[in-house]
Chain A
Amino acid sequence: MKKSGLIKVGTILGLVFLSAILFFIFEKSWQDLFFDESKPTAHFYRDSSVPISDINLKVFYVVPANRTANILSNWREVIENNLAKVSAFHVLQFRGLSRLTYDIYPEIVILKNNEDIYNSKANGGTVIISIAEELSRRVFTPSGDLYNADSVPSGENKYAVLGLVYEGENFTVFNGGIVKPASAKESVHDFSLLSGVPESIIFKADLEKIKGFFLIGRDNLINSPTAIGSTQLYEIIAHTFGLPDAINSVGVPLSDDLMGLGRVKPIENNYLSRKTLKDLGVLSDL
């Protein structure tokens, strides 16, 4: 190609290129794209070192030896309905940053003792410990008579919680909290001072791989007069990741949410307050 032809082609291409550059710059300024991919992580109450983005409940229907005649025929359905509600509630409150899954042990666990043995310890708050320890020995250890490998908490990334639905006549106790090793030197009081979690929801028990546990009477789930069984269930589940009650010592609510005034409301109308969510890492700032 001759020199003049090259100059013409070059001029045309140059102009087109110049136009394209100008247009690109213009379009770029028109497109104001900005994204922030960072996401917060849900964690244990006021402790960001313990993630709770995946909470797994190992739930058992436990029946004292003398209460087998009272076993609910639809026990699984009752438990599952309530767990489904609390699971949905949990995901909603945590804005999807934490999920609450559950595995219901397929068999009814008949306890070794009669209810009076367990109930007699109820006022001392140790009924949950004694049942949980018995369950752990029988179900989670290979030498146990009910050992089931699938039911043993295994996932390192999961926050494992042991749930007990207790078959007891007029038994309306519901309790739960975090589990510390029974062999630990620190007392419950020491743990409370260290973590800021109230003593009432700290338990020392021999339960391997279990971060927290709860116990609720099956009457709470089916016979609650104001249909607040699921609310109570979630309240004690919340204790397992350190969430304290929002009521004072004489029972006056300190907050409007489920941990306070909301505990007497159905779960459908309940929520966790922004302050609570901040303590759990869901909200970064208020």
Chain B
Amino acid sequence: MVNIFQKFKNALSVRGRLHRKVMIMMLLTSVLPIIFLGFLALVSLNTAHRIDVADIESNLINQKTEEIKTFLKGALNMLELRVTFPQVTDIEIGQQHYLLGQLLAENTAFNEISFVSLNGRETSKQGRLSLKNLADLSRLQKFLEAKAGKNYISPVYFTLSGPMITIAAPVKNSNNVIISVLTAELDLKGLEKIINKSILGNAGYLYLIDQDGFLVVWSEKNNTPPTYAADLRQIGFTNQLIQGESFLGADKQARYRSFFGKQVVGAGEFLSDFNLGVVAEWPVSDADNIIATVRNQIIVVSLIVLILTLLFSLFLAGQIVSPIKTLESSAELIAAGKFEHPVQISTHDEIEDLGRAFNKMMEGLKRLEELKNEFVFIAAHEIRTPVTAIKGYISMVVDKSAGKLDEETSRFLGEVKKASDRLNNLVNDLLQIARSEAGRLEIKVTPTEVTEPVKAVLAELKVLADEKSISLVYEPRALPKVLADPARLKEVLVNLVGNAIKYTLGAGAVTISQEIIGKEIITHVADTGIGIPLGAQQKLFEKFYRVPDERTREITGTGLGLFIVKEIIERMNGRIWVESESEKGSVFSFGLPIVSIDKTD
């Protein structure tokens, strides 16, 4: 478990361009589809829900429309009397009263009802209120239309008793000839029962509006009782509805703040034959209750999946890039000549195979390096004996031990001696490097004074310095011993002071100073020479590297000295570095560990 967690943590910590590329690619191929699908799911869900809500409301409105039509047509049908006699004359007054009484008893919605003769005069009248006057209706629309044989339905009007309509129908004889007219006032409160019997979710309700957009009848489910004739013209789709536009179906349903103060989903239908509009309003909070829950779940799940995908993308990108980074690090080690660190990749795929191939390649390179070192060691070792002999004999000849030489021969032999010296140095350096790389460089670390080797080296190189008018400055001070090989330390100092003298063109000074920093004694070798460019400083301790400079072309050197110095210092558990500025000189510093009391003992 801990391993997995560590693996995950490592994968997440990987950085780099490839990592970014892989992650972005994964995001593009996984997160975007998730977002798109999530969005599509929400759209589909909402669309389906919208259609469902519209269907429910439409079905309810259609059902109520039929009931309302039945109620109104039923009342109208009751007025369409047909008598059995063939004469074109009014029904006898007594019978009229009887019939009116029967009609009032049969339909409680009739508020007032009267027979009207064909001349427009009311012949009898009955109602629920005290009514006695018989009026002349000859100029009224209800009479004229019914007399013409048409059923009449007035616009809705509002009285203090409630909303009403006036209806009228012709009364015919047995020959289907109109003999009089029946008119009635119909109380629309009878429609309340129809509206109240509606079920629309938990909080949905219905109401009726008249031809002008005023409230006629409403459901008891409204917590805020309105008043008759409340003006709904400014609410929702009322204005379009009363002009005959249907608001049934998903395309037509609307969402708005209702007259009753709630945000609702509304649908409606206008019954132009009866001057009534049926409106269903379903509070959004109730209608969308289920969809809101599902929608929230989708959003939450999508977000979780999104976050997990993002994390997984990071992890996977890390997993892919991590072994590549490992290979990169190993390649850098190999480039530095270090073959002791085989790559550890266990991805169980082609990258692991690549890692194994890489390790094999590294072993091959290591073997080649060993062979090369062996070759260099043997070659240098074998060359050194004849070179030493050549050097000795040439020295004898130059020293005229073998007899006098003419001037030209002496000059030629002088050049041969210089070349021989350079060759000898090169062979010695190569041999030392070969020893070092073959692990044969012997360094015996012991508690060593650091001032004496400096003094000895300065004394040794004073002649060289004097030749170039370079002063050697050193002020020895009491310092603890360091852990070092005295001979190798001297070799290091010879190399560094020698270089300082060598690369100080003309007169100058080479200053050696020492200080204690932490648990080290740092020795600084500062010169007033030509300095080293910043770019060259980084390569200065590499094999065969020489700073390219026209002024030092004539100065002999193998480019191995500082590499050897660095090898020796590091083998003595020390460190070396350089600080330099072009034309202002260089300071080579190395630190060696101070001998602790335990080690001294």
Contact = CB atoms under 8 A, between A and B. Distances in A.
Contact of A7 (B20, B129, B135, B254): B20
Nearest to A277: B212
B130 A226 contact: yes
Interface in A235-251: 248, 251
A39 interface: yes
B159 A269 contact: yes
Contacts of B39: 19, 22-23, 26
Nearest to A5: B15
A269 B129 contact: yes
B256 A30 contact: no
A264 interface: yes
Contacts of B132: 225-226
A26 B46 contact: yes
A2 B19 CA distance: 14
A257 B255 contact: no
A38 B43 contact: no
Contacts of B38: 19
Given A33-B255, A85-B160, A226-B133, A269 B111 contact: yes
A36 interface: yes
A251 B138 CA distance: 12
A38 B43 CA distance: 35
- Which of B32, B130, B142, B314 counts the most chain A CB atoms within 10 A? B130
Given A8-B23, A11-B27, A30 B50 contact: yes
Contacts of A260: 140
A172 interface: no
B161 interface: yes
Interface residues of A, number: 54
Interface stretch (B150-158, B333-341, B370-378, B468-476): B150-158
Interface in A82-120: 85, 88-89, 92-93, 95-97
A283 interface: yes
B310 interface: yes
A88 B160 CA distance: 8
A227 interface: yes
A283 B256 contact: no
Contact of B15 (A2, A26, A39, A253): A2
B43 A26 contact: yes
B228 interface: yes
B455 interface: no
- Which of A30, A38, A255 counts the most chain B CB atoms within 10 A? A30
B99 to A, nearest CB: 21
A36 to B, nearest CB: 5
B270 interface: no
Nearest to B253: A32
Contacts of A22: 39
Interface stretch (B56-64, B231-239, B409-417, B547-555): B231-239
A31 B254 CA distance: 8
Contacts of B331: none
B257 A270 contact: no
B426 interface: no
Interface in A264-282: 264-271, 273-274
A253 B39 CA distance: 66
A271 B235 CA distance: 24
A26 B20 contact: no
A269 B228 CA distance: 14
Nearest to A261: B135
A65 interface: no
A256 B153 CA distance: 13
Contact of B212 (A253, A264, A274): A274
Nearest to B121: A252
B310 A256 contact: no
A147 to B, nearest CB: 37
Interface string B125-166: 001011111011111111000000000001101111100101
A266 B24 contact: no
A145 interface: no
Interface string B20-55: 100110010001100100110011001000100000
A227 B159 contact: no
Interface in B199-238: 212, 214, 227-231, 233-237
Given A11-B24, A253-B137, A31 B255 contact: yes
A227 B130 CA distance: 8
A132 B239 CA distance: 45
B159 A271 contact: yes
B135 to A, nearest CB: 6
A12 interface: yes
Interface of B: 15-16, 19-20, 23-24, 27, 31-32, 35, 38-39, 42-43, 46, 50, 111-112, 127, 129-133, 135-142, 154-155, 157-161, 164, 166, 185, 212, 214, 227-231, 233-237, 239, 254-257, 306, 310, 314
Given A92-B159, A269-B129, 11 more contacts: A26-B39, A30-B50, A32-B255, A35-B234, A97-B231, A253-B137, A253-B140, A255-B140, A257-B157, A261-B137, A274-B212
